[in-house]
Amino acid sequence: MSEFWNQKFSRADYFYGDTPNDFLRSQVFRLKPGARVLVVGDGEGRNGVWLAEQGFEVTSVDYSSVGCEKSRLLAARKHVSLITHCADLLTWAWPIAEFDAVVSIFLHFMPDDRRQVHAKMQAALAPHGWLIIELFHPKQLAYQSGGPKNCDMLNTPNELETDFTDLNWWLLGEGLTRLAEGSGHTGLGYISHAAGQKAPAVG
């Protein structure tokens, strides 16, 4: 599958643009200055690089080697640095309780893989750490603005609630939004998104 993404990203411009996702931009106020942020499935780096520009300590992971290289180029162009790992999230040695935030934007899996990766994302959060996540809802199948065409890879807010059991939700919703993210996501889209904070360990 990484070859699928390598092909999509093998172009001069940035497939999803080089500016951040709107939901991420709207939620970043929750993070403290200098927070350690893990950006999973960061593609060509538009979100990770923007977070680095905001002064966060960013670790960006994606299994597309082309995407990772374009993330590094974008970071250099913006004069910021971030750590990039070109790795498969299904086999990556995930850090535990190390991040003040995990950001996941349009990262879709089949159900078993999704549950596994979401559990790792939750475990990677330090106590009080934030999850910021946006992905396409099953209703997206009625729209032409991008995303997987397999309903099993699309998720409701309820599924997010079920996957992330250790979080207190501050925002959990779904709805129509107008996407203007490069040529990859253009037009009306139906999304699920959430912001949740990891409960501190008890005892």
Ligand X SMILES: C[S@@+](CC[C@H](N)C(=O)[O-])C[C@H]1O[C@@H](n2cnc3c(N)ncnc32)[C@H](O)[C@@H]1O
Q: Which residues bind ligand X (CB under 6 A)?
A: 5, 16, 21, 41-43, 46-47, 62-64, 67, 88-90, 105-107
Closer by beta carbon to ligand X, 16 or else 56: 16
Instruction: Give the strands of the sheet with 125-136, arranged side by side.
Output: 83-86, 57-62, 36-40, 99-105, 125-136, 185-198, 167-181
The tokens describing 185, both together, are 């996501």
Closer by beta carbon to ligand X, 83 or else 199: 83
- Helix (H) or strand (E) holding 37, with range, is strand 36-40
Closer by beta carbon to ligand X, 110 or else 199: 110
Q: Provide, rounded to whole angstroms, the least separation between the CB of residue 9 and ligand X.
A: 7
Query: How far is residue 190's CA from residue 203's CA, in Å, rounded to a whole number?
Result: 41
Closer by beta carbon to ligand X, 106 or else 164: 106
Q: Provide, rounded to whole angstroms, the least separation between the CB of residue 96 and ligand X.
A: 18
Closest CB to ligand X: residue number: 43
32 within 8 A of 130, measured Cβ to Cβ: no
According to DSSP, the residues that pair with 36 across neighbouring strands are: 57
